[in-house]
Amino acid sequence: MSLSFPTMAAIRFGYGFRPGEAPPQNKDDLIGQLSKGAAATPDFPLGGPETRHRAILSLQEQLKQIRQDAKSVTDDTTRREMRNGVQRQAQQQFQHDVNLRLMQAVLSPYGFYERLATFWTDHFSTSANKSLPMRLIVPLYEAEAIRPFMSGRFGDLLRSATAHPAMLIYLDQADSLGPDSAGGIKRNKGLNENLGRELLELHTLGAGSGYSQADVTAAAMVLTGLTIDRKEMDIAFRPNISQPGTHEVLGVSYGGRRRSRDDYLDMLDDLAIHPKTAAHISRKLAVHFISDQPDEGMVSDMAAAWKQTDGDLTAVYTAMLGHPAAWQNEGAKSRQPFDYVVAGLRALNAGPVNGVVGSFLAANQQGTDEGDMAANTPGMAGSPVTTDPAGEGRDRRLKAFRTARALGQGALKRMGQPTWLPPSPAGFEEGFSAWITGSQLAERLAWARRATAQFGRDEDPREFLKSTLADAARDETIRVVSQAPNKFSGLTLVLASPEFNRR
Amino acid sequence: MNRISLSRRGFLTSACCLAAAPVFTPVTFAAMPGDNRFVTIVLRGAMDGLDLVQPYGDAGFAALRPTLALTPDTGLLDLDGHFGFNPAAADLMPLWKSRELAFVHAVSTPYRDQRSHFDGQDMLESGGEHVAEEKTGWLNRALAVIPRSDARKAIDVNTSTELILSGPNDVDVWASDSNLAPARDEMQFLTRLYAGDPPFAAALAEATRADTASMMVEPDGQRGEKTADVAALAANMLKGDYRIASFSITGWDTHIGQAGQFKRPVQDLAQAINTLKATLGAEIWTKTVVLAMTEFGRTARQNGSAGTDHGTGGCALLAGGAINGGRILGGWPGIGDGQLLDDRDLMPTADVRELAAAMLYRQFDVGVDDLTGKIFPGLGFDKGSQFLRG
């Protein structure tokens, strides 16, 4: 082992050190986080899942009302204003959720669990940009369809992610009908193969693994029937829009004279334990956590664990952590922007209970912003309460809110990794060279300056370096930091150092 | 040069700007009038060429696309009596009429059958015959073999590197709204901090170069992240000593409700090209070629939700004062019975790599052997290429 176990565990498998928090001491500590993390309710969506379900329905209702009202309104400006109000509400809720998710990663003692949540949410990418309701649905998706299933069987995770409204909307499954089904004929609509394709290419077997266009089309046919109940904004299975007959995917027939939910569930289960799925996802995990060119022995150990356990993910993670390559060649990966920002806030998060960063961000959940905050959202379930709409207190909160946004989502957007807004169904870029560029470095420097100015008042750069990087700090970094011309410059250099940007 | 204000950047005049100095000086600027420029735009998500440039003259087109196909009677802008322009691209009509715009229909990479965006983009940008065969981008490899060394300077306008420009040759990556702004004495500490870590040292040097150049061309301008800002930054860098620029336009993955979804990316594309022309100015525009290309086309038939799924043959766009446009290039395969690939996609009749090779040949005199050996391995290309007449 090149570095101490806790350092490797904190930086490679978590979001870095947080002062006052003990890093994992052994592999059992890391694996133990899985059940503890799953048992804790995520901080998002704002107000909890039940409240969010109601908020989604309420948004649907408002949109419907606007569409109805719009029929009698001829003035374009009025029509736009009606829609803008609802848009602003949804956008605000989204901003709050983004902030909550960031805080959770900063404050959670279960770094490995949090990193896995980021990995799987990215693996099963959905984007909040797809439609207005998706601003409210995507945070719920991570909370209820991804996080609870990350340590069990992959097949269960695949089922929960595939059949969540977020996925059905994002990959257009809600609009796919069997062309020869009764419903398809009646509505003169037919197949949309988007989800069928990404299911094989991205979510299970992997691109270039040998499936054909016929498999894609057949998988899309098997999936017909799986759709959304728009009234309830919940998943539904409707046999009358299922393409009749049997459909062969990778040599296995699904369906029959009567189509049922079991057809697509059987297909997902078969795909989940397919050896190509095991190989594809084991490799992807190893690439994400350890190296762009992972040790082949490690990948095959993971795939073997997958095979032995029918895709038990805890067994797969255990195989990864159990391989010597997991603990060698530190710093081969670059921290992605979310990882970088979270690690930076964790490093700066000294202080009691939630630390200065936690208190700051929490306070700003109740902040206010012109035309952008809770004061404009009467009756929105789950919205934070706003008091004192005017005066000095308001100005102070406004400034603080803007700073928080600049350090959080604003920075992530500029760095190219805005939360829940991946550029494509394939998720965010993974490789080192995608993230370590001139542009990226400029953004990270700007962030480091701003974050240390905000939170670095009580820090000594030399102590900060120790508590932040421990034995990962190189001699040259220790020298440069200790010679920095002033305190903030020294703190910035720690966050700008290659060690802090690598993992 | 005297219009260039350094007021935002006191540091540029201090010692730390030594590293940036060679990039942009009156001498290099003056030394290079007459040089050609090349811009590639990657249209990510698989643009539907059959929607942008619609073969309304083909019998059966309307039947393939009941709600997507237009005719001149329903708003399509006629181009040549057979093809017509999607009305969302109306802003490109002046360029078409001045013969500074051409379309190349039914092109694709050698990629077939799988129709994955990500593999498709890999092929388009790496320039190989097979997925993952080439690990670097063809435009980066081209830099090494451009005969004139002063034409080897490229900028990728993006937050992260695109495959098309990634590889061993120096390329600067810079977002349209990036800003390095190091404190006066910070630079020397950063230089020391990164001395032992080559990728970080290279990134810092890149940031310094690009930041300096972008500040020089737009000293006090408000720069944003919209397509027009991206295109304006690219053009401004090309007015300086960059000769090659690349950026992307996304939003082409129109599986559903395409009639509405298609407008925005088409308008972005039109705006990007018009901004390039306006910002470069008349003289440089005559030496410029813009090549916009996509990973593959979409299904000839619209799908069950008034969109299109992943197909094969697509459409590329050429623009610039240097091209002989106002024409639809490429071999049109037809869309009738038996003419589609797999009874599903527009049949590719040419390799989009040949089009790219032709532009490298014509803009920078890149040798044929280099084009078919190093840049596009396995490609057939000679000086008789149809695209050199384009």
Among B135, B136, B186, residue whose Cα is nearest residue B16: B186
Closest Cα in chain B, distance from residue A360 (Å): 27
Q: Please, are residues A171 and A195 in contact by the beta-carbon 8 Å criterion?
A: yes
Nearest-CB residue to B256 (from A172, A425, A434): A172
* Element of type H or E holding A468: helix A461-469
User: Are the Cβ atoms of B174 and A485 closer than 8 angstroms?
Assistant: no
Q: Please, are residues B297 and B344 in contact by the beta-carbon 8 Å criterion?
A: no
- Cα dihedral B301, B302, B308, B310, rounded to 10, equals -20
Q: Phi/psi zone of residue B288: left (φ > 0), alpha (ψ -120 to 50 degrees), beta? A: beta
Q: What was the ipTM of the complex prediction?
A: 0.90
User: Are the Cβ atoms of B119 and A484 closer than 8 angstroms?
Assistant: no
Q: Please, are residues B344 and B299 in contact by the beta-carbon 8 Å criterion?
A: yes
Q: Please, are residues A55 and A335 in contact by the beta-carbon 8 Å criterion?
A: no
Question: Given this model, what pLDDT does residue A145 score?
Answer: 97
Q: Is A293 on the interface with B (CB under 8 A)?
A: no
Q: Please, are residues B363 and B323 in contact by the beta-carbon 8 Å criterion?
A: no
Could you give the angle at which helices B198-217 and B186-193 cross, rounded to 10 degrees? 150
Nearest-CB residue to B166 (from A194, A414, A433): A433
- Parallel, antiparallel, or unpaired: how do β-strands B288-294 and B314-319 relate? antiparallel
> Which of A134, A441, A449 to mutate to test binding with chain B, by most B CBs within 10 Å of its CB?
A441
Question: Given this model, what pLDDT does residue B19 score?
Answer: 29
Which residue ranges in chain B fall short of pLDDT 50? 1-34
Q: What is the arrangement of strands in the sheet containing B84-85, beginning at the earlier edge strand?
A: B53-54, B84-85, B77-78
Q: C-alpha distances in angstroms, B228 versus A418, B236, B257, B267, B270? A: 21, 12, 26, 11, 10
Residue B284 corresponds to which amino acid?
A: I
Distance CA A77, CA B330 (A): 45
H helices of A310-372, in order, are: 313-322, 337-347, 355-365
User: Are the Cβ atoms of B189 and A434 closer than 8 angstroms?
Assistant: no
Distance CA B59, CA B38 (A): 37
Interface of A with B in 422-451 (CB under 8 A): 423-426, 429, 432-443, 445-446, 449
Question: Given this model, what pLDDT does residue A202 score?
Answer: 97
Distance CA B150, CA A23 (A): 52
Nearest-CB residue to B200 (from A175, A191, A498): A498
Closest Cα in chain B, distance from residue A189 (Å): 4
Q: Which of A363-368's residues contact partners 24+ apart within 8 Å by CB, and which partners? A: A363/A397, A363/A400, A364/A99, A364/A397, A364/A400, A364/A401, A364/A403, A364/A404, A365/A96, A365/A99, A365/A100, A366/A397, A367/A397, A367/A398, A367/A400, A367/A401, A367/A404, A368/A394, A368/A397, A368/A398, A368/A401
For residue A434, which residues of chain B lie inside 8 Å, CB to CB?
A: 160-161
Q: What is the CA radius of gyration of chain A?
A: 24
Closest Cα in chain A, distance from residue B354 (Å): 25
Distance CA A432, CA A142 (A): 26
* Element of type H or E holding B186: helix B186-193
Distance CA A231, CA A58 (A): 10
Question: Given this model, what pLDDT does residue A204 score?
Answer: 98
Q: Please, are residues B103 and B29 in contact by the beta-carbon 8 Å criterion?
A: no
Q: Which residue of B has its CA nearest to A201?
A: B116
For residue B255, which residues of chain A lie inside 8 Å, CB to CB?
A: 171-172, 192, 194
pLDDT, mean of each 10-residue run, chain A (503 residues): 90 95 96 94 92 94 86 76 87 90 92 98 97 96 97 98 97 96 94 97 94 97 96 93 97 95 98 98 98 97 98 98 97 97 91 66 55 38 47 69 81 93 94 90 92 84 95 95 87 96 97
Distance CA B207, CA A443 (A): 10
* Element of type H or E holding A222: helix A213-223
Beta carbon pairs, A and B, within 8 Å:
168
Interface of A with B in 37-66 (CB under 8 A): none
SS3 of residue A132 by DSSP: coil
Q: Exposure of A400 by Cβ count < 10 A (0-12 exposed, 13-18 middle, 19+ buried)?
A: middle
- Report the DSSP beta bridge partners of residue A321: none
Closest Cα in chain A, distance from residue B180 (Å): 5
> Which of B179, B305, B340 to mutate to test binding with chain A, by most A CBs within 10 Å of its CB?
B305
Question: Given this model, what pLDDT does residue B209 score?
Answer: 84
Nearest-CB residue to B160 (from A184, A437, A493): A437
Distance CA A270, CA A265 (A): 9
Distance CA A461, CA A448 (A): 13
> Which of B114, B140, B344 to mutate to test binding with chain A, by most A CBs within 10 Å of its CB?
B114
Q: Is the peptide bond before A389 cis (omega within 30 degrees of 0)?
A: no
Quickly count: other Cβ atoms within 10 Å of residue A307's Cβ. Answer: 14
Among A340, A349, A280, residue whose Cα is nearest residue A316: A280
> Which of A437, A482, A491 to mutate to test binding with chain B, by most B CBs within 10 Å of its CB?
A437
For residue B159, which residues of chain A lie inside 8 Å, CB to CB?
A: 414-416, 437, 439-440, 443
User: Are the Cβ atoms of B203 and A179 closer than 8 angstroms?
Assistant: no
Nearest-CB residue to B255 (from A194, A414, A496): A194
Nearest-CB residue to A484 (from B179, B189, B255): B189
- Report the DSSP beta bridge partners of residue B244: B38, B154
Q: Please, are residues B151 and B159 in contact by the beta-carbon 8 Å criterion?
A: no
Q: What is the DSSP letter of B79?
A: S
Q: Please, are residues A104 and A42 in contact by the beta-carbon 8 Å criterion?
A: yes
For residue A189, which residues of chain B lie inside 8 Å, CB to CB?
A: 304-305
Nearest-CB residue to A189 (from B205, B211, B305): B305
* Element of type H or E holding B108: strand B101-108
Question: Given this model, what pLDDT does residue A69 score?
Answer: 81
Interface of A with B in 474-503 (CB under 8 A): 474, 476-477, 480, 483-485, 489, 492-493, 496-498, 501
Q: What is the DSSP letter of A236?
A: E
- Cα dihedral A448, A429, B201, B225, rounded to 10, equals -60
Distance CA B373, CA A459 (A): 57
Distance CA A245, CA A254 (A): 8
The structure's pTM equals: 0.81
Q: Which residue of B has its CA nearest to A412?
A: B159
Closest Cα in chain A, distance from residue B387 (Å): 31
Closest Cα in chain B, distance from residue A384 (Å): 31
